[in-house]
Copies of this chain bind each other. A is one copy, B any other.
Amino acid sequence: MPRTVDHEERRSMILEAFMAVAAREGLHAVSLRAVAAEAGISLRSVQYYFDTKAGLMQAGLATLEKLSNERVKTRLEALEPSPSARTTLQALFAVALPTDRESRRFHLLWTSYAMLAMTDPEISDRTFVDSPNRLQERIAFILEEGKSSGEFDGALNGELEATILISLIHGLGTAVLVGQQTSESATSSFEHYLDRLAGAKSGNG
């Protein structure tokens, strides 16, 4: 076995260049040559590690998902031990909001991939069902915990509320991304929503 290189390390280096190009010029503008130039390697090397463009695109989506999961995990682990349901929901919202460049990049590319998957069979559209489903289950679980602890009304329908919450989080995120809402107004809207969800009796703003 001659001249062995760490393939995983090489692939992730190229994927980082992929992300940079995709975020800067748009997912539609990604080309093997542009990624190669961004990574400072030759076109041939990108082919070598990803074979085809479809392979690179699929790896890009997988990376995006992995990075997002890591961001969520890191954010939640940074919380105090046994956080309240509200605190956990706030953390999930904060990580979903496209405030810094990395989260803006994620939101832009994730949505671009989702739209691409609607017409391109090369991109698995299961991702955009399974991944939100996992998040929704997680939120439902948090709500159940909140019910147990008395933080939320025991009659609250966790499944339904989780659906609303995830849609609201996503909707506010998109509004911030395109510049229709500031992150401040989105945050106060979300807080207001949590107030009513927790209060469940008085719905003032």
Contact = CB atoms under 8 A, between A and B. Distances in A.
Contact of A201 (B166, B193, B201): B201
Contacts of A118: 26, 108, 177-178
A178 B114 contact: yes
A185 interface: yes
A115 B180 CA distance: 13
A125 B189 contact: no
A174 interface: yes
Nearest to A135: B180
Interface of A: 24-29, 108, 111-112, 114-120, 125, 128-129, 132-133, 153, 155-157, 160-161, 163-164, 166-172, 174-175, 177-181, 185-186, 188-189, 192-193, 196-197, 200-205
